[in-house]
Amino acid sequence: MPWTNNASERALKNPKLHQKVSGYWHTLATAARYCQVRSYLISARNHGVRPIDAIHQALTGTPWTPPAKA
């Protein structure tokens, strides 16, 4: 998949690469969970939160959430 600056295409690049390397996703639910976690980490990173901090917060019961828009 060629690289572009389109954010939606960049978001699909990693899951598509995983599919190409492994050959498939075992179940649709597995693919959905992968995309949920990846989306959470990308959103956190875009708001200046390190991925490891976002994971730690999620696992300790206080998940990071984006700030509310005014």
Tell me the pLDDT tens digit for each residue of 16-52.
Answer: 777 777 767 778 888 888 888 888 998 899 899 999 9
Tokens of 37: 């976690």
Tokens of 45: 């990173």
CB within 8 Å of 15: residues ≥ 6 apart: 31, 34, 35, 38
**Tokens 């708001």 found at:** 47
Report field, pTM of the whole predicted structure over 0.85: no
Per the model's pLDDT, the better-predicted residue between 35 and 59 turns out to be 59
CA atoms within 13 A on the CB side of 4: 10
What band does 5 get if pLDDT is binned at 50, 70 and 90?
Answer: low
What band does 8 get if pLDDT is binned at 50, 70 and 90?
Answer: low
Task: Name the DSSP letter for residue 20.
Answer: H
pLDDT of residue 60: 96
Residue type, 36: Q
